[in-house]
A and B are shown apart, each in its own frame.
Chain A
Protein backbone atom coordinates (compact mmCIF):
# COMPACT_ATOMS: atom_id res chain seq x y z
CA UNK A 1 0.00 0.00 0.00
CA UNK A 2 2.86 2.38 0.83
CA UNK A 3 4.34 1.38 -2.50
CA UNK A 4 1.18 2.28 -4.38
CA UNK A 5 0.74 5.59 -2.58
CA UNK A 6 4.26 6.64 -3.48
CA UNK A 7 3.55 6.51 -7.22
CA UNK A 8 3.13 9.74 -9.12
CA UNK A 9 -0.57 9.35 -9.90
CA UNK A 10 -1.00 13.04 -10.66
CA UNK A 11 1.48 12.88 -13.54
CA UNK A 12 -0.28 9.77 -14.80
CA UNK A 13 -3.67 11.48 -14.79
CA UNK A 14 -2.34 14.17 -17.15
CA UNK A 15 -1.45 11.65 -19.85
CA UNK A 16 -4.10 11.44 -22.59
CA UNK A 17 -3.45 7.70 -22.95
CA UNK A 18 -4.15 7.06 -19.30
CA UNK A 19 -7.28 9.20 -19.46
CA UNK A 20 -8.71 7.56 -22.57
CA UNK A 21 -7.74 4.10 -21.36
CA UNK A 22 -9.26 4.72 -17.93
CA UNK A 23 -12.48 6.07 -19.45
CA UNK A 24 -12.84 3.02 -21.72
CA UNK A 25 -12.03 0.59 -18.92
CA UNK A 26 -14.35 2.31 -16.46
CA UNK A 27 -17.14 2.40 -19.04
CA UNK A 28 -16.89 -1.37 -19.44
CA UNK A 29 -16.72 -1.89 -15.67
CA UNK A 30 -19.76 0.40 -15.31
CA UNK A 31 -21.71 -1.64 -17.87
CA UNK A 32 -20.77 -4.82 -16.04
CA UNK A 33 -21.83 -3.54 -12.62
CA UNK A 34 -25.08 -2.00 -13.84
CA UNK A 35 -26.05 -4.76 -16.27
CA UNK A 36 -29.06 -6.04 -14.26
CA UNK A 37 -30.54 -2.54 -14.13
CA UNK A 38 -29.76 -1.14 -17.57
CA UNK A 39 -30.20 -4.26 -19.70
CA UNK A 40 -33.57 -3.94 -21.50
CA UNK A 41 -34.19 -7.72 -21.61
CA UNK A 42 -33.20 -10.92 -19.87
CA UNK A 43 -30.07 -12.01 -21.79
CA UNK A 44 -31.41 -15.55 -22.11
CA UNK A 45 -34.96 -14.64 -23.14
CA UNK A 46 -35.66 -16.01 -26.60
CA UNK A 47 -38.08 -14.40 -29.02
CA UNK A 48 -38.04 -16.62 -32.07
CA UNK A 49 -40.49 -14.38 -33.93
CA UNK A 50 -37.96 -11.53 -33.77
CA UNK A 51 -34.71 -13.32 -34.56
CA UNK A 52 -31.74 -11.75 -36.37
CA UNK A 53 -32.98 -8.16 -36.11
CA UNK A 54 -30.38 -5.52 -37.09
CA UNK A 55 -29.20 -2.71 -34.78
CA UNK A 56 -31.24 0.50 -34.59
CA UNK A 57 -29.34 2.48 -37.24
CA UNK A 58 -30.09 -0.12 -39.91
CA UNK A 59 -33.45 -0.32 -41.66
CA UNK A 60 -35.87 -2.92 -40.37
CA UNK A 61 -34.80 -2.61 -36.75
CA UNK A 62 -37.14 -2.96 -33.80
CA UNK A 63 -36.73 -0.11 -31.26
CA UNK A 64 -37.27 -2.62 -28.46
CA UNK A 65 -33.97 -4.27 -29.43
CA UNK A 66 -31.47 -1.41 -29.75
CA UNK A 67 -28.60 -3.58 -31.02
CA UNK A 68 -30.80 -6.18 -32.65
CA UNK A 69 -31.28 -9.84 -31.82
CA UNK A 70 -29.32 -13.02 -32.47
CA UNK A 71 -30.35 -16.21 -34.22
CA UNK A 72 -32.51 -17.27 -31.28
CA UNK A 73 -34.09 -13.84 -30.90
CA UNK A 74 -32.09 -12.90 -27.81
CA UNK A 75 -31.38 -9.20 -27.19
CA UNK A 76 -27.79 -8.51 -28.30
CA UNK A 77 -27.45 -5.39 -26.13
CA UNK A 78 -28.47 -7.24 -22.99
CA UNK A 79 -26.15 -10.13 -23.81
CA UNK A 80 -23.26 -7.72 -24.39
CA UNK A 81 -23.93 -6.01 -21.05
CA UNK A 82 -24.11 -9.31 -19.16
CA UNK A 83 -21.07 -10.56 -21.11
CA UNK A 84 -19.15 -7.59 -19.72
CA UNK A 85 -19.75 -9.00 -16.23
CA UNK A 86 -17.89 -12.20 -17.11
CA UNK A 87 -15.11 -10.27 -18.87
CA UNK A 88 -14.57 -7.78 -16.06
CA UNK A 89 -14.78 -10.39 -13.32
CA UNK A 90 -12.20 -12.58 -15.05
CA UNK A 91 -9.97 -9.60 -15.93
CA UNK A 92 -9.83 -8.28 -12.37
CA UNK A 93 -9.54 -11.50 -10.39
CA UNK A 94 -7.26 -13.36 -12.78
CA UNK A 95 -4.80 -10.50 -13.22
CA UNK A 96 -4.60 -9.85 -9.47
CA UNK A 97 -4.09 -13.56 -8.86
CA UNK A 98 -1.38 -13.80 -11.50
CA UNK A 99 0.27 -10.68 -10.10
CA UNK A 100 0.30 -12.04 -6.54
CA UNK A 101 1.91 -15.33 -7.53
CA UNK A 102 4.22 -13.99 -10.25
CA UNK A 103 5.16 -10.87 -8.33
CA UNK A 104 5.95 -12.73 -5.11
CA UNK A 105 8.09 -15.31 -6.89
CA UNK A 106 9.86 -12.61 -8.89
CA UNK A 107 10.79 -10.68 -5.76
CA UNK A 108 11.96 -13.85 -4.01
CA UNK A 109 14.03 -14.92 -7.05
CA UNK A 110 15.57 -11.52 -7.57
CA UNK A 111 16.19 -10.85 -3.89
CA UNK A 112 17.67 -14.15 -2.79
CA UNK A 113 19.29 -15.12 -6.10
CA UNK A 114 21.26 -18.39 -6.08
CA UNK A 115 19.25 -21.59 -5.82
CA UNK A 116 15.91 -19.87 -5.28
CA UNK A 117 16.45 -17.89 -8.46
CA UNK A 118 17.52 -20.98 -10.36
CA UNK A 119 14.49 -22.99 -9.29
CA UNK A 120 11.99 -20.25 -10.07
CA UNK A 121 13.75 -19.48 -13.34
CA UNK A 122 13.50 -23.11 -14.48
CA UNK A 123 9.83 -23.27 -13.49
CA UNK A 124 9.17 -20.20 -15.63
CA UNK A 125 11.06 -21.79 -18.54
CA UNK A 126 8.98 -24.95 -18.36
CA UNK A 127 5.76 -22.94 -18.25
CA UNK A 128 6.80 -20.64 -21.08
CA UNK A 129 7.49 -23.54 -23.41
CA UNK A 130 3.75 -24.10 -23.66
CA UNK A 131 1.92 -21.76 -25.98
CA UNK A 132 -0.46 -20.00 -23.53
CA UNK A 133 -3.56 -20.96 -25.48
CA UNK A 134 -2.59 -24.63 -25.44
CA UNK A 135 -1.80 -24.65 -21.74
CA UNK A 136 -5.02 -22.89 -20.78
CA UNK A 137 -7.03 -25.31 -22.90
CA UNK A 138 -5.34 -28.28 -21.24
CA UNK A 139 -5.98 -26.76 -17.81
CA UNK A 140 -9.63 -26.20 -18.65
CA UNK A 141 -9.93 -29.87 -19.63
CA UNK A 142 -8.58 -30.77 -16.20
CA UNK A 143 -10.57 -28.20 -14.25
CA UNK A 144 -13.88 -28.36 -16.09
CA UNK A 145 -16.00 -25.40 -17.17
CA UNK A 146 -17.02 -22.57 -14.88
CA UNK A 147 -16.00 -18.96 -14.56
CA UNK A 148 -13.83 -19.48 -11.48
CA UNK A 149 -11.96 -22.28 -13.23
CA UNK A 150 -11.23 -19.87 -16.08
CA UNK A 151 -9.76 -17.47 -13.55
CA UNK A 152 -7.68 -20.25 -12.04
CA UNK A 153 -6.47 -21.38 -15.48
CA UNK A 154 -5.42 -17.84 -16.42
CA UNK A 155 -3.60 -17.37 -13.11
CA UNK A 156 -1.79 -20.67 -13.57
CA UNK A 157 -0.75 -19.74 -17.12
CA UNK A 158 0.05 -16.05 -16.83
CA UNK A 159 1.94 -15.72 -13.55
CA UNK A 160 5.07 -16.23 -15.66
CA UNK A 161 4.52 -12.93 -17.47
CA UNK A 162 4.84 -11.09 -14.16
CA UNK A 163 7.62 -13.27 -12.86
CA UNK A 164 9.95 -12.94 -15.82
CA UNK A 165 9.71 -9.20 -16.31
CA UNK A 166 9.66 -8.27 -12.62
CA UNK A 167 12.56 -10.53 -11.73
CA UNK A 168 14.96 -8.71 -14.05
CA UNK A 169 13.73 -5.40 -12.64
CA UNK A 170 14.37 -6.64 -9.09
CA UNK A 171 17.88 -7.77 -10.06
CA UNK A 172 18.62 -4.27 -11.37
CA UNK A 173 17.28 -2.59 -8.24
CA UNK A 174 19.23 -4.96 -6.00
CA UNK A 175 22.47 -3.39 -7.19
CA UNK A 176 21.48 0.01 -5.82
CA UNK A 177 23.33 1.28 -2.78
CA UNK A 178 20.21 1.96 -0.75
CA UNK A 179 19.33 -1.74 -0.72
CA UNK A 180 22.77 -2.55 0.73
CA UNK A 181 22.31 0.33 3.17
CA UNK A 182 18.96 -1.04 4.31
CA UNK A 183 20.56 -4.43 4.95
CA UNK A 184 23.38 -2.80 6.89
CA UNK A 185 20.94 -0.87 9.06
CA UNK A 186 19.54 -4.25 10.05
CA UNK A 187 16.30 -4.48 8.08
CA UNK A 188 14.93 -8.01 7.85
CA UNK A 189 14.54 -9.65 4.43
CA UNK A 190 10.82 -8.96 4.48
CA UNK A 191 11.34 -5.31 5.43
CA UNK A 192 13.82 -4.78 2.60
CA UNK A 193 11.51 -6.38 0.06
CA UNK A 194 8.37 -4.56 1.16
CA UNK A 195 9.80 -1.16 2.10
CA UNK A 196 12.73 -0.76 -0.28
CA UNK A 197 12.23 -3.05 -3.29
CA UNK A 198 8.48 -2.80 -3.80
CA UNK A 199 8.32 1.00 -4.26
CA UNK A 200 10.95 0.64 -6.99
CA UNK A 201 9.14 -2.14 -8.82
CA UNK A 202 5.61 -0.81 -8.26
CA UNK A 203 5.41 1.21 -11.52
CA UNK A 204 6.19 -1.90 -13.54
CA UNK A 205 3.78 -3.94 -11.41
CA UNK A 206 0.89 -1.57 -12.04
CA UNK A 207 1.66 -1.45 -15.77
CA UNK A 208 1.81 -5.22 -16.07
CA UNK A 209 -1.42 -5.53 -14.10
CA UNK A 210 -3.24 -3.29 -16.55
CA UNK A 211 -1.86 -5.14 -19.59
CA UNK A 212 -2.71 -8.50 -17.98
CA UNK A 213 -6.35 -7.42 -17.61
CA UNK A 214 -6.50 -7.03 -21.37
CA UNK A 215 -4.87 -10.42 -21.87
CA UNK A 216 -7.31 -12.05 -19.44
CA UNK A 217 -10.28 -10.64 -21.38
CA UNK A 218 -8.86 -12.13 -24.59
CA UNK A 219 -8.15 -15.52 -23.02
CA UNK A 220 -11.67 -15.70 -21.58
CA UNK A 221 -13.10 -14.79 -25.00
CA UNK A 222 -10.96 -17.49 -26.62
CA UNK A 223 -12.00 -20.13 -24.10
CA UNK A 224 -15.69 -19.28 -24.28
CA UNK A 225 -15.41 -19.20 -28.08
CA UNK A 226 -14.11 -22.76 -28.00
CA UNK A 227 -16.81 -23.67 -25.49
CA UNK A 228 -14.41 -24.33 -22.61
CA UNK A 229 -15.18 -21.36 -20.38
CA UNK A 230 -18.47 -20.50 -18.70
CA UNK A 231 -21.51 -22.77 -18.27
CA UNK A 232 -23.84 -22.92 -21.24
CA UNK A 233 -26.45 -20.54 -19.79
CA UNK A 234 -24.03 -17.69 -19.04
CA UNK A 235 -23.75 -15.03 -21.74
CA UNK A 236 -20.09 -14.29 -22.56
CA UNK A 237 -18.62 -12.42 -25.51
CA UNK A 238 -16.79 -15.46 -26.85
CA UNK A 239 -20.01 -17.48 -26.74
CA UNK A 240 -21.80 -14.72 -28.66
CA UNK A 241 -19.07 -14.72 -31.32
CA UNK A 242 -19.22 -18.50 -31.66
CA UNK A 243 -23.05 -18.44 -31.90
CA UNK A 244 -22.97 -15.65 -34.47
CA UNK A 245 -20.68 -17.61 -36.80
CA UNK A 246 -23.61 -19.83 -37.78
CA UNK A 247 -25.64 -16.82 -38.94
CA UNK A 248 -22.68 -15.00 -40.48
CA UNK A 249 -24.16 -15.06 -43.99
CA UNK A 250 -27.48 -13.49 -42.94
CA UNK A 251 -26.12 -10.71 -40.76
CA UNK A 252 -22.67 -9.51 -39.80
CA UNK A 253 -23.78 -7.36 -36.87
CA UNK A 254 -24.15 -10.26 -34.48
CA UNK A 255 -20.49 -11.09 -34.84
CA UNK A 256 -19.13 -7.56 -35.24
CA UNK A 257 -20.66 -6.20 -32.04
CA UNK A 258 -19.10 -8.68 -29.56
CA UNK A 259 -15.77 -8.40 -31.45
CA UNK A 260 -15.99 -4.64 -30.94
CA UNK A 261 -16.77 -5.17 -27.25
CA UNK A 262 -13.61 -7.26 -26.79
CA UNK A 263 -11.60 -4.76 -28.83
CA UNK A 264 -12.74 -1.69 -26.89
CA UNK A 265 -12.13 -3.37 -23.54
CA UNK A 266 -8.65 -4.61 -24.43
CA UNK A 267 -7.77 -1.29 -26.06
CA UNK A 268 -8.77 0.49 -22.85
CA UNK A 269 -6.56 -1.72 -20.68
CA UNK A 270 -3.66 -1.53 -23.15
CA UNK A 271 -3.78 2.27 -23.45
CA UNK A 272 -3.99 2.52 -19.67
CA UNK A 273 -1.02 0.18 -19.27
CA UNK A 274 1.08 1.94 -21.90
CA UNK A 275 0.26 5.37 -20.47
CA UNK A 276 1.06 4.26 -16.92
CA UNK A 277 4.36 2.79 -18.06
CA UNK A 278 5.35 6.10 -19.63
CA UNK A 279 4.28 8.30 -16.75
CA UNK A 280 4.97 6.23 -13.64
CA UNK A 281 8.44 5.05 -14.60
CA UNK A 282 10.75 7.96 -13.76
CA UNK A 283 13.17 6.90 -16.49
CA UNK A 284 10.55 7.13 -19.21
CA UNK A 285 8.59 10.04 -17.76
CA UNK A 286 10.48 12.69 -19.72
CA UNK A 287 9.33 11.34 -23.04
CA UNK A 288 5.68 10.85 -22.14
Chain B
Protein backbone atom coordinates (compact mmCIF):
# COMPACT_ATOMS: atom_id res chain seq x y z
CA UNK B 1 0.00 0.00 0.00
CA UNK B 2 2.62 2.51 1.07
CA UNK B 3 4.78 1.29 -1.78
CA UNK B 4 2.05 2.12 -4.27
CA UNK B 5 1.60 5.53 -2.67
CA UNK B 6 5.30 6.25 -2.87
CA UNK B 7 5.48 5.24 -6.53
CA UNK B 8 2.57 7.53 -7.32
CA UNK B 9 4.24 10.40 -5.47
CA UNK B 10 7.52 9.84 -7.21
CA UNK B 11 6.08 9.71 -10.69
CA UNK B 12 3.91 12.79 -10.21
CA UNK B 13 6.77 14.81 -8.80
CA UNK B 14 9.23 13.84 -11.52
CA UNK B 15 6.80 15.14 -14.14
CA UNK B 16 7.34 18.64 -12.84
CA UNK B 17 8.64 20.94 -15.54
CA UNK B 18 10.81 23.01 -13.16
CA UNK B 19 14.40 22.00 -12.70
CA UNK B 20 14.82 20.96 -9.08
CA UNK B 21 18.42 22.11 -9.26
CA UNK B 22 17.66 25.68 -10.21
CA UNK B 23 17.61 26.72 -6.57
CA UNK B 24 20.62 24.85 -5.33
CA UNK B 25 23.29 26.08 -7.71
CA UNK B 26 24.72 29.56 -7.79
CA UNK B 27 23.61 31.67 -10.76
CA UNK B 28 27.12 31.84 -12.26
CA UNK B 29 27.87 28.12 -12.13
CA UNK B 30 29.17 26.61 -15.32
CA UNK B 31 27.36 23.86 -17.18
CA UNK B 32 29.97 21.34 -16.00
CA UNK B 33 29.43 22.32 -12.38
CA UNK B 34 25.67 21.95 -12.72
CA UNK B 35 26.09 18.54 -14.33
CA UNK B 36 28.38 17.51 -11.49
CA UNK B 37 25.81 18.46 -8.83
CA UNK B 38 23.07 16.84 -10.87
CA UNK B 39 25.09 13.66 -10.88
CA UNK B 40 25.79 13.84 -7.15
CA UNK B 41 22.10 14.23 -6.40
CA UNK B 42 21.26 11.41 -8.76
CA UNK B 43 18.98 13.43 -11.02
CA UNK B 44 20.74 12.27 -14.21
CA UNK B 45 19.79 8.61 -13.84
CA UNK B 46 16.68 6.99 -15.27
CA UNK B 47 13.56 7.43 -13.19
CA UNK B 48 13.38 3.81 -12.05
CA UNK B 49 16.94 3.98 -10.72
CA UNK B 50 16.16 7.26 -9.00
CA UNK B 51 13.13 5.72 -7.35
CA UNK B 52 15.15 2.71 -6.20
CA UNK B 53 17.79 4.99 -4.72
CA UNK B 54 15.14 7.03 -2.93
CA UNK B 55 13.32 3.94 -1.65
CA UNK B 56 16.52 2.43 -0.27
CA UNK B 57 17.13 5.67 1.60
CA UNK B 58 13.53 6.04 2.76
CA UNK B 59 13.60 2.63 4.41
CA UNK B 60 16.45 3.93 6.57
CA UNK B 61 14.51 7.18 7.20
CA UNK B 62 16.94 8.96 4.91
CA UNK B 63 14.82 11.12 2.64
CA UNK B 64 17.70 13.11 1.22
CA UNK B 65 18.43 16.76 1.84
CA UNK B 66 16.16 19.73 1.46
CA UNK B 67 17.26 21.82 -1.52
CA UNK B 68 16.02 25.00 0.14
CA UNK B 69 16.93 24.45 3.80
CA UNK B 70 20.19 22.59 3.09
CA UNK B 71 19.30 20.28 5.93
CA UNK B 72 18.32 16.62 6.00
CA UNK B 73 14.60 16.16 5.33
CA UNK B 74 14.32 13.62 8.13
CA UNK B 75 15.40 16.13 10.77
CA UNK B 76 13.05 18.76 9.34
CA UNK B 77 10.19 16.32 9.67
CA UNK B 78 11.26 15.23 13.15
CA UNK B 79 11.04 18.88 14.18
CA UNK B 80 7.67 19.67 12.64
CA UNK B 81 5.68 16.43 12.81
CA UNK B 82 5.05 16.43 16.59
CA UNK B 83 3.58 19.93 16.34
CA UNK B 84 1.14 18.74 13.68
CA UNK B 85 0.21 15.63 15.63
CA UNK B 86 -0.44 17.71 18.72
CA UNK B 87 -2.70 20.05 16.79
CA UNK B 88 -4.54 17.21 15.07
CA UNK B 89 -5.08 15.35 18.35
CA UNK B 90 -6.64 18.37 20.03
CA UNK B 91 -8.77 19.03 16.96
CA UNK B 92 -9.97 15.43 16.93
CA UNK B 93 -10.98 15.87 20.55
CA UNK B 94 -12.93 19.04 19.70
CA UNK B 95 -14.55 17.42 16.66
CA UNK B 96 -15.56 14.33 18.63
CA UNK B 97 -17.07 16.27 21.54
CA UNK B 98 -18.94 18.66 19.24
CA UNK B 99 -19.93 15.85 16.88
CA UNK B 100 -21.33 13.61 19.61
CA UNK B 101 -23.13 16.46 21.38
CA UNK B 102 -24.52 17.80 18.12
CA UNK B 103 -25.53 14.34 16.91
CA UNK B 104 -27.45 13.63 20.10
CA UNK B 105 -29.12 17.03 19.92
CA UNK B 106 -30.10 16.53 16.28
CA UNK B 107 -31.52 13.14 17.19
CA UNK B 108 -33.28 14.49 20.26
CA UNK B 109 -35.25 17.08 18.28
CA UNK B 110 -36.38 14.61 15.60
CA UNK B 111 -39.96 15.08 14.51
CA UNK B 112 -40.23 18.47 16.20
CA UNK B 113 -40.32 21.87 14.59
CA UNK B 114 -36.73 22.52 15.62
CA UNK B 115 -35.48 19.65 13.48
CA UNK B 116 -35.35 21.33 10.07
CA UNK B 117 -33.83 24.47 11.63
CA UNK B 118 -31.03 22.58 13.40
CA UNK B 119 -30.54 20.34 10.40
CA UNK B 120 -30.01 23.28 8.09
CA UNK B 121 -27.76 24.84 10.74
CA UNK B 122 -25.57 21.74 10.64
CA UNK B 123 -25.39 21.99 6.83
CA UNK B 124 -24.43 25.64 7.25
CA UNK B 125 -21.56 24.73 9.61
CA UNK B 126 -20.53 22.08 7.10
CA UNK B 127 -20.48 24.67 4.33
CA UNK B 128 -17.67 26.72 5.83
CA UNK B 129 -14.38 24.87 5.31
CA UNK B 130 -11.95 24.71 8.21
CA UNK B 131 -9.52 27.28 6.88
CA UNK B 132 -12.28 29.86 6.62
CA UNK B 133 -13.34 29.02 10.18
CA UNK B 134 -9.72 29.64 11.10
CA UNK B 135 -9.71 33.10 9.51
CA UNK B 136 -13.11 33.87 11.00
CA UNK B 137 -11.93 32.97 14.51
CA UNK B 138 -8.82 35.12 14.06
CA UNK B 139 -10.99 38.08 13.10
CA UNK B 140 -13.40 37.52 15.97
CA UNK B 141 -11.28 36.37 18.91
CA UNK B 142 -7.87 37.56 17.78
CA UNK B 143 -8.42 40.96 16.19
CA UNK B 144 -11.87 42.17 17.19
CA UNK B 145 -11.87 41.12 20.85
CA UNK B 146 -8.14 40.38 21.14
CA UNK B 147 -8.83 37.51 23.55
CA UNK B 148 -6.55 34.81 22.27
CA UNK B 149 -3.18 34.66 20.53
CA UNK B 150 -3.17 33.40 16.96
CA UNK B 151 0.40 33.19 15.75
CA UNK B 152 2.94 30.49 16.48
CA UNK B 153 3.05 28.16 19.44
CA UNK B 154 4.37 30.36 22.25
CA UNK B 155 4.36 34.03 23.17
CA UNK B 156 7.62 35.80 22.22
CA UNK B 157 8.68 36.25 25.86
CA UNK B 158 9.11 32.50 26.24
CA UNK B 159 11.86 30.58 24.53
CA UNK B 160 11.17 27.06 23.35
CA UNK B 161 11.85 24.48 26.08
CA UNK B 162 14.36 21.72 25.48
CA UNK B 163 12.81 19.31 23.00
CA UNK B 164 12.60 16.05 24.88
CA UNK B 165 9.58 14.63 23.11
CA UNK B 166 9.00 17.33 20.49
CA UNK B 167 5.45 17.67 21.75
CA UNK B 168 5.37 21.17 23.17
CA UNK B 169 2.62 20.52 25.69
CA UNK B 170 4.57 17.58 27.13
CA UNK B 171 7.91 19.36 26.96
CA UNK B 172 6.68 22.36 28.94
CA UNK B 173 5.33 20.06 31.64
CA UNK B 174 8.53 18.02 31.71
CA UNK B 175 10.49 21.25 32.07
CA UNK B 176 8.31 22.05 35.09
CA UNK B 177 6.88 25.23 33.59
CA UNK B 178 3.09 25.28 34.07
CA UNK B 179 2.98 28.93 32.97
CA UNK B 180 4.51 27.97 29.64
CA UNK B 181 2.13 25.04 29.32
CA UNK B 182 -0.81 27.42 29.78
CA UNK B 183 0.64 29.77 27.19
CA UNK B 184 1.13 26.95 24.68
CA UNK B 185 -2.40 25.75 25.36
CA UNK B 186 -3.83 29.23 24.73
CA UNK B 187 -2.03 29.32 21.40
CA UNK B 188 -3.63 26.04 20.40
CA UNK B 189 -7.23 26.89 21.28
CA UNK B 190 -8.09 28.78 18.11
CA UNK B 191 -6.41 26.46 15.57
CA UNK B 192 -7.78 23.33 17.25
CA UNK B 193 -11.24 24.85 17.51
CA UNK B 194 -11.24 25.92 13.85
CA UNK B 195 -10.15 22.49 12.70
CA UNK B 196 -12.53 20.67 15.05
CA UNK B 197 -15.57 22.78 14.23
CA UNK B 198 -15.02 22.29 10.52
CA UNK B 199 -15.12 18.52 10.89
CA UNK B 200 -17.85 18.11 13.52
CA UNK B 201 -21.02 18.41 11.38
CA UNK B 202 -20.24 15.28 9.37
CA UNK B 203 -19.98 13.30 12.62
CA UNK B 204 -23.21 14.86 13.90
CA UNK B 205 -25.13 13.90 10.82
CA UNK B 206 -23.94 10.30 10.67
CA UNK B 207 -24.53 9.76 14.39
CA UNK B 208 -28.05 11.13 14.01
CA UNK B 209 -28.94 8.85 11.14
CA UNK B 210 -27.40 5.76 12.77
CA UNK B 211 -29.32 6.51 15.99
CA UNK B 212 -32.46 6.73 13.88
CA UNK B 213 -31.72 3.32 12.35
CA UNK B 214 -31.08 1.75 15.75
CA UNK B 215 -34.25 3.19 17.26
CA UNK B 216 -36.27 1.50 14.54
CA UNK B 217 -35.13 -1.91 15.84
CA UNK B 218 -37.38 -4.14 17.88
CA UNK B 219 -35.10 -4.40 20.88
CA UNK B 220 -35.50 -0.71 21.61
CA UNK B 221 -39.29 -1.07 21.67
CA UNK B 222 -38.79 -4.14 23.85
CA UNK B 223 -36.67 -2.15 26.30
CA UNK B 224 -39.28 0.57 26.41
CA UNK B 225 -42.00 -2.01 27.12
CA UNK B 226 -39.92 -3.30 29.99
CA UNK B 227 -40.16 0.16 31.49
CA UNK B 228 -36.55 1.21 31.08
CA UNK B 229 -36.02 4.96 31.10
CA UNK B 230 -35.22 6.86 27.90
CA UNK B 231 -31.77 7.91 29.08
CA UNK B 232 -30.91 4.32 29.97
CA UNK B 233 -32.14 3.12 26.58
CA UNK B 234 -30.04 5.70 24.80
CA UNK B 235 -26.87 5.09 26.77
CA UNK B 236 -26.97 1.35 27.39
CA UNK B 237 -28.92 0.00 24.44
CA UNK B 238 -28.76 2.37 21.50
CA UNK B 239 -25.46 4.22 21.75
CA UNK B 240 -23.30 1.12 21.53
CA UNK B 241 -24.78 0.06 18.22
CA UNK B 242 -25.22 3.54 16.82
CA UNK B 243 -21.61 4.51 17.39
CA UNK B 244 -20.28 1.93 14.93
CA UNK B 245 -21.26 3.59 11.63
CA UNK B 246 -20.27 6.94 13.11
CA UNK B 247 -16.87 5.50 13.93
CA UNK B 248 -16.30 4.31 10.36
CA UNK B 249 -16.96 7.78 9.07
CA UNK B 250 -14.84 9.36 11.79
CA UNK B 251 -11.91 7.29 10.52
CA UNK B 252 -12.21 8.83 7.07
CA UNK B 253 -12.88 12.26 8.53
CA UNK B 254 -9.84 12.14 10.79
CA UNK B 255 -7.72 11.39 7.75
CA UNK B 256 -9.12 14.52 6.11
CA UNK B 257 -8.64 16.37 9.38
CA UNK B 258 -4.95 15.60 9.38
CA UNK B 259 -4.78 17.07 5.90
CA UNK B 260 -6.69 20.07 7.22
CA UNK B 261 -3.84 20.86 9.61
CA UNK B 262 -1.92 22.03 6.55
CA UNK B 263 -4.04 25.13 5.99
CA UNK B 264 -4.71 25.80 9.65
CA UNK B 265 -0.98 25.78 10.31
CA UNK B 266 -0.45 28.18 7.44
CA UNK B 267 -3.09 30.58 8.72
CA UNK B 268 -1.91 30.47 12.34
CA UNK B 269 1.80 30.56 11.42
CA UNK B 270 2.04 27.33 13.38
CA UNK B 271 5.42 25.70 12.78
CA UNK B 272 4.16 22.24 11.81
CA UNK B 273 4.55 19.98 8.84
CA UNK B 274 1.81 21.71 6.86
CA UNK B 275 3.55 25.03 6.95
CA UNK B 276 6.76 23.38 5.82
CA UNK B 277 4.87 21.65 3.00
CA UNK B 278 3.40 24.90 1.67
CA UNK B 279 6.81 26.53 1.85
CA UNK B 280 8.35 23.57 0.02
CA UNK B 281 5.64 23.77 -2.65
CA UNK B 282 6.40 27.45 -3.20
CA UNK B 283 10.12 26.75 -3.48
CA UNK B 284 9.74 23.57 -5.54
CA UNK B 285 11.72 21.74 -2.85
CA UNK B 286 11.14 18.24 -4.22
CA UNK B 287 12.75 16.05 -1.53
CA UNK B 288 10.67 17.81 1.15
CA UNK B 289 7.40 17.65 -0.82
CA UNK B 290 7.95 13.98 -1.48
CA UNK B 291 8.81 12.98 2.08
CA UNK B 292 6.14 15.12 3.71
CA UNK B 293 3.54 13.81 1.27
CA UNK B 294 4.51 10.30 2.29
CA UNK B 295 4.36 11.14 6.00
CA UNK B 296 0.85 12.53 5.52
CA UNK B 297 -0.16 9.23 3.93
CA UNK B 298 1.39 7.23 6.75
CA UNK B 299 -0.51 9.40 9.22
CA UNK B 300 -3.82 8.87 7.42
CA UNK B 301 -3.25 5.12 7.12
CA UNK B 302 -2.33 4.77 10.78
CA UNK B 303 -5.35 6.79 11.90
CA UNK B 304 -7.52 4.53 9.74
CA UNK B 305 -5.81 1.51 11.29
CA UNK B 306 -6.51 2.77 14.80
CA UNK B 307 -10.15 3.37 13.93
CA UNK B 308 -10.40 -0.13 12.47
CA UNK B 309 -8.98 -1.53 15.70
CA UNK B 310 -11.48 0.45 17.78
CA UNK B 311 -14.20 -0.75 15.45
CA UNK B 312 -13.43 -4.42 15.97
CA UNK B 313 -13.18 -3.86 19.71
CA UNK B 314 -16.65 -2.33 19.82
CA UNK B 315 -18.26 -4.69 17.36
CA UNK B 316 -18.63 -8.17 18.88
CA UNK B 317 -19.31 -9.67 15.43
CA UNK B 318 -15.73 -8.97 14.37
CA UNK B 319 -14.09 -10.30 17.51
CA UNK B 320 -12.10 -13.51 17.11
CA UNK B 321 -13.73 -16.32 19.04
Specify which chain A residues have a CB less than 8 angstroms from the CB of B262 in the assembled complex. Answer: 131, 133-134, 137
Task: Apart from A129-B301, A142-B15, list 5 A-B contacts with CB within 8 A.
Answer: A129-B304, A131-B262, A135-B293, A140-B281, A241-B132
Specify which chain B residues have a CB less than 8 angstroms from the CB of A241 in the assembled complex. Answer: 132, 135
Given contacts A132-B256, A248-B143, are A138 and B293 in contact (CB under 8 A)?
yes
Contact present for A137 and B16 (CB under 8 Å): no
Give per-residue flags for B6-25: 1 if the beta carbon is below 8 A from chain A beta carbons, else 0: 00110011011100000000
A212 to chain B, nearest CB (A): 14
A contact residues, range: 35 or more
A21 to chain B, nearest CB (A): 9
A204 to chain B, nearest CB (A): 15
Given contacts A130-B296, A274-B123, are A218 and B281 in contact (CB under 8 A)?
no
Asked if B313 is an interface residue, CB under 8 A from chain A, the answer is no
Please measure, in the bound complex, the distance between the C-alpha atom of A241 and the C-alpha atom of B131, giving whole angstroms. 11
Question: Contact check: which of B128, B255, B301 meets A266 at CB < 8 Å?
Answer: B128
Question: Contact check: which of B17, B131, B139, B260 meets A252 at CB < 8 Å?
Answer: B139
Please measure, in the bound complex, the distance between the C-alpha atom of A271 and the C-alpha atom of B127, giving whole angstroms. 9
Given contacts A129-B301, A144-B17, A252-B143, are A134 and B128 in contact (CB under 8 A)?
no
Asked if A239 is an interface residue, CB under 8 A from chain B, the answer is no
Contact present for B277 and A139 (CB under 8 Å): no
Asked if A249 is an interface residue, CB under 8 A from chain B, the answer is yes
Question: Contact check: which of B1, B15, B258, B289 meets A131 at CB < 8 Å?
Answer: B258
Give per-residue flags for B22-65: 1 if the beta carbon is below 8 A from chain A beta carbons, else 0: 00000000000000000000000000000000000000000000
Contact present for A222 and B1 (CB under 8 Å): no
Classify the interface of chain B: helix, strand, loop or mixed. Answer: helix
Most buried by A among B132, B138, B293: B132
Question: Contact check: which of B129, B255, B282 meets A227 at CB < 8 Å?
Answer: B282
A239 to chain B, nearest CB (A): 14
A-B contact pairs, 14 of them (CB 8 A): A126-B8, A137-B262, A138-B9, A141-B13, A144-B17, A222-B131, A225-B263, A245-B135, A255-B135, A262-B129, A263-B124, A263-B132, A266-B129, A267-B127
Q: Which residues of B contact A (CB under 8 A)?
A: 1, 4-5, 8-9, 12-13, 15-17, 116, 120, 123-124, 126-129, 131-132, 135-136, 138-139, 143-144, 252, 255-256, 258-260, 262-263, 266, 277-278, 281-282, 284, 289, 292-293, 296-297, 300-301, 304
Asked if A228 is an interface residue, CB under 8 A from chain B, the answer is yes
Asked if A214 is an interface residue, CB under 8 A from chain B, the answer is yes
Classify the interface of chain A: helix, strand, loop or mixed. Answer: helix
Q: Which residues of A contact B (CB under 8 A)?
A: 16-17, 122, 125-126, 128-135, 137-142, 144, 214, 218, 221-222, 225-228, 241, 245, 248-249, 252, 255-256, 259, 262-263, 266-267, 270-271, 274
